[in-house]
A = this chain, B = another copy of it.
Amino acid sequence: MSTLPVPPMFDAEFQAKLALLIAWRRDVRRFRHEGVPQATLDHLLDLVQLSPSVGNSQPWRIVSVTQKARRAAIRANFEQTNAAALHAYSGERAALYARLKLSGLDDAPVHWAVFCDHATRQGDGLGMATMPETLDASVSGMIATLWLAARAQGLGLGWVSILDPLAATAALEVPPSWKLIAYLCIGWPQEEHSDPELVRYRWQNRTHAGRQVLER
C-alpha cells in the first residue's frame, strides 16, 4: 500500500521571502571569477526538470559551453551584433547604449546555451496543435524558474539575447532541430541590487503598463 505524500504548506513567512526573491532577482552582467560547484549546478538542473511544459514535453536542451574557441565565437558574435544594434540609436540614446554593460560573457564562469528541441516526440503533440509556440514558451518558463532557483543560491544569471541566433547555434554544433532560446551567463554576482541595471542606468524605467488589467 502506498502512502500519499503530504502537500507542503507555504506560510506567510515563506510567501514574504518568495516575494523578496522575485524582487531581488536580477539580470546579472557583472560576475566574480570564482567557479560554481558542480553540485550546485546539478541541484539546479534537477530542480528545473520539474518546470511546467506543454504536454509534459520537457523540450529544453542545455549546452554547457566551456571550450575556449566556442566561447570566443560567442563573444565575437555578441560584439558584432551589439555594434550593429548600437547603430539603431542616435544622439544621447546611442551614447547611453554604448555605455551599458550588456553581457557578462567575459567573466561568467558558467555559460549555458538553452535550446528548444522542435523534434521532440515527448508530449505527443498535446496542447501544441493550434499554439505550437507553447513549446518555446515552455523553455522560457524553465529559464524563469532557473533564474529564481539560482538567485536563492546566491547565484546571478544573465540572459544574453544580443546574438545572431543562427550563427550561435552553428558555433555550438547541436542537432538541427534545436532552436536557440537563450544564452545564459551564470556565476556569483559582484553586486546585489533591488532595481534592474537598465533602470539604474536610465535606459528604461519600470512602468505600470503591464499592471493595468483589462476587464472583458
The answer to whether A49 touches B161 (Cβ under 8 A) is: no
Report A47-68 residues with CB < 8 Å from chain B CB.
Answer: 47-52, 54-67
Question: Is residue A109 contacting chain B, with contact meaning CB distance below 8 A?
Answer: no
Q: Could you give 6 example pairs across A and B, Cβ below 8 Å?
A: A22-B50, A56-B199, A127-B161, A130-B164, A130-B165, A174-B214
Q: Which residues of B contact A145 (CB under 8 A)?
A: 22, 144, 148
Given the known inter-chain contacts A50-B23, A143-B141, please indicate yes or no for A204 contacting B56, CB distance below 8 A.
yes
Smallest CB separation, A16 vs chain B (Å): 10
* Partner pick for A97 among B64, B126, B148, B161, CB 8 A cutoff: B126
Whether A49 contacts B211 by the Cβ 8 Å rule is yes
CB distance from A170 to the nearest CB of B (A): 12
Task: Please give the residue numbers on chain A whose beta carbons come within 8 Å of chain B beta carbons, in ascending order.
Answer: 5, 7-8, 10, 14-15, 17-25, 27, 45-52, 54-67, 70, 81, 84-85, 88-89, 93, 97, 100, 102, 113, 117, 120, 122-131, 133-134, 136-138, 140-145, 147-149, 151-154, 159, 161-165, 172-174, 181-182, 192, 194, 196, 198-199, 203-211, 213-216
Contact of A153 among B15, B25, B62, B63 (CB under 8 A): B15
Give the top 5 A-B pairs by smallest Cβ distance, nearest first. Answer: A141-B144, A7-B192, A140-B140, A144-B144, A137-B140
